Amino acid sequence: MKQFIVVGLGRFGGSVTKTLISMGYEVLAMDKDQKKVQEFAAIATHVFQADSTDEQALVELGVSNFDHAIVAIGDDLQASILTTLQLKKLGLTTVTAKAVNELHHKVLEKVGADHIVHPERDTGIRVAHQVTSKNLIDFIELSPDYSLVEISAPTSMHGQSLETLNIRARYGCSVMAIRTRANEMIISPNAQDQVHEGDILVVIGSNDDIARFEKGYE
């Protein structure tokens, strides 16, 4: 069973901790603030009050025995960067760090973070897409230029095959999967597979092509 360390129990780190616990994983949660430590005492598998920039404290907690750490410190950039550096130095295979801006992202990359997340920016992008497209269910940015979206099939697609809809030729994006109303997943659908209103299409493509596709079915 994978074991995780979460450093910083603010809204983001707290949510990561609760979700990992609800998924059955063991989590060592750490915060320098005693109040946070008390709040998570009944939630996380182990909770410690410690300053994560203190190498000795990390060694004493045995952090090198863990697989994956999530550095969820936002305001104190120095603490976020030093913690990421220490965790990589102590041999953690995977460190996921939260960045608050692009410069922070670049520095985290330089000190060895394996994954860098931007929760506020990504939620903002997702919400903007959701409020401007009535069929869009979810939006995942794969790179600055490419995305994957989940779109609820509108009435105008009902009963048509992918061949007839001709989405790739018309909009340049591809339907990777269809989740039917009966919750059945059709992965890599065939040209003959039919779409029904309310099915969910998983579509991949460039942001421009996806925007044209969404607009085409408004």
Calculate the alpha carbon distances from 115 to 60, 68, 192, 212 in Å: 25, 11, 39, 31
- CA gap 141, 126 in Å, rounded: 9
Which parts of this chain interact with ligand ATP (CB under 6 A)? Answer: 7-13, 30-33, 36, 51-53, 72-76, 79
96 within 8 A of 38, measured Cβ to Cβ? no
Q: Which residues pair with 3 in a beta bridge?
A: 26
Q: Which residues pair with 115 in a beta bridge?
A: 96
57 vs 140, which CB is nearer to ligand ATP? 57
Query: Across the beta sheet with 136-141, what order do the strands follow?
Result: 136-141, 146-152, 200-206, 174-179, 185-187
9 vs 162, which CB is nearer to ligand ATP? 9
CB of residue 187 vs ligand ATP: minimum separation in angstroms? 35
CB of residue 174 vs ligand ATP: minimum separation in angstroms? 35
120 vs 193, which CB is nearer to ligand ATP? 120
CB of residue 138 vs ligand ATP: minimum separation in angstroms? 22
CB of residue 180 vs ligand ATP: minimum separation in angstroms? 37
By Cβ distance, which residue is nearest to ligand ATP?
74
Give the SS3 label for residue 106. helix
67 vs 76, which CB is nearer to ligand ATP? 76
